[in-house]
């Protein structure tokens, strides 16, 4: 029985090419037409590797998600630090993560590490899963802000100073007495680090 022509690429090669496009030019630049052009193949041939772009995004998130042991053990602070570094290396990830159909070994390995960190908390399973989802959302939001600052060429301190100036202008009207009271307690503290915010959030989620 005659056999068809062997595929020109492997699925990991196609996914790696998609990651390269998204890393270089953003998620909006990743179209099946652009990917086919970069691979030197026809658009329709891509559908022999993936069902659609949604599956391609699932595979991209999985493929970049290998855990780096340099980030330490299975404590939650190490895990969110790893997530932040991963998202900074691949700036398209915060936008790609919502509603993903994830279940590969890298994604499940991260989930397992998170559950190990939570195993002695006494929390029920659904609460543990919710905490991990909330932490991922926090990291994605934080990185999105970091990337926006970098594009605008501003620092944390400059952003905070601008925000404080707007708040001070607002409270001078007398319409926000509680906000005015808080602002009067001081606005010159340096912005907290990612680690400090993450540690506070983790403590709050665990009831600490």
> How many C-beta atoms surround the C-beta of residue 172 within 10 A?
11
Q: Which long-range contacts (CB under 8 A, 24 or more apart) does 197-204 make?
A: 197/142, 198/77, 198/80, 198/81, 198/135, 198/138, 198/139, 199/77, 201/135, 201/138, 202/76, 202/77, 202/80, 202/135
Question: What local confidence, expressed as pLDDT, does residue 179 receive?
Answer: 87
Stated pTM of the model: 0.86
CA angle (199 as vertex; 196, 205 as ends), nearest 5? 140
The mean pLDDT of 29-42, rounded to a whole number, is: 96
What's the rounded Cα separation, in Å, for the pair 66 and 30? 22
pLDDT digits over 139-168, tens only? Answer: 999 999 999 999 989 888 888 788 888 888
- Determine the number of helices (DSSP H) and then strands (DSSP E) in the chain: 10, 0
Domains of the chain with bracketed CATH: 1-64 (1.10.10.60), 66-208 (1.10.357.10)
Q: Which residues of 2-29 are buried (b: 16+ CB within 10 A; e: fewer)?
A: eeeeeeebeeeebbebbbebbbeeebee
Residue 1 has pLDDT above 50, yes or no: no
pLDDT digits over 41-91, tens only? Answer: 999 999 999 999 999 999 999 999 988 877 777 799 999 999 999 999 999
| In the block, residue with structure tokens 């009271």 | 181
> Does residue 176 or residue 130 have the better pLDDT?
130
Q: How far is CA 84 from CA 71, 72, 89, 93, 101, in A?
A: 11, 14, 9, 10, 21
Q: How far is CA 170 from CA 60, 164, 167, 182, in A?
A: 44, 10, 5, 13
Question: What local confidence, expressed as pLDDT, does residue 115 receive?
Answer: 96
Q: How far is CA 176 from CA 88, 160, 182, in A?
A: 37, 19, 10
Rg (C-alpha) for the chain, rounded Å, is 22
Arithmetic mean of pLDDT over the chain: 90
């Amino acid at each position: 029985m005659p056999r068809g022509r062997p595929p020109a690429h492997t699925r990991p090669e196609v996914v790696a090419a998609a990651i390269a496009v998204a890393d270089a030019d953003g998620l909006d630049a990743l179209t099946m037409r652009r990917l086919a052009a970069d691979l030197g193949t026809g658009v329709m041939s891509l559908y022999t590797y993936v069902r659609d772009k949604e599956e391609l995004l699932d595979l991209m998130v999985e493929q970049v998600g290998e855990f780096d042991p340099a980030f330490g053990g299975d404590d939650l602070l190490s895990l969110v630090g790893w997530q932040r570094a991963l998202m900074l290396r691949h700036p398209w990830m915060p936008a790609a993560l919502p509603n993903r159909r994830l279940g590969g070994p890298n994604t499940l390995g991260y989930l397992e590490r998170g559950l190990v960190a939570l195993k002695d908390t006494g929390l029920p399973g659904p609460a543990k899963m919710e905490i991990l989802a909330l932490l991922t959302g926090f990291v994605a939001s934080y990185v999105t802000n970091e990337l926006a600052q970098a594009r605008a060429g501003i620092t944390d301190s400059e952003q905070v100073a601008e925000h404080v100036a707007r708040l001070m202008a607002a409270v001078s009207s007398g319409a926000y007495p509680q906000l005015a009271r808080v602002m009067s307690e001081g606005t010159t503290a340096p912005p907290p680090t990612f680690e400090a915010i993450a540690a506070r959030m983790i403590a709050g989620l665990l009831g600490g």
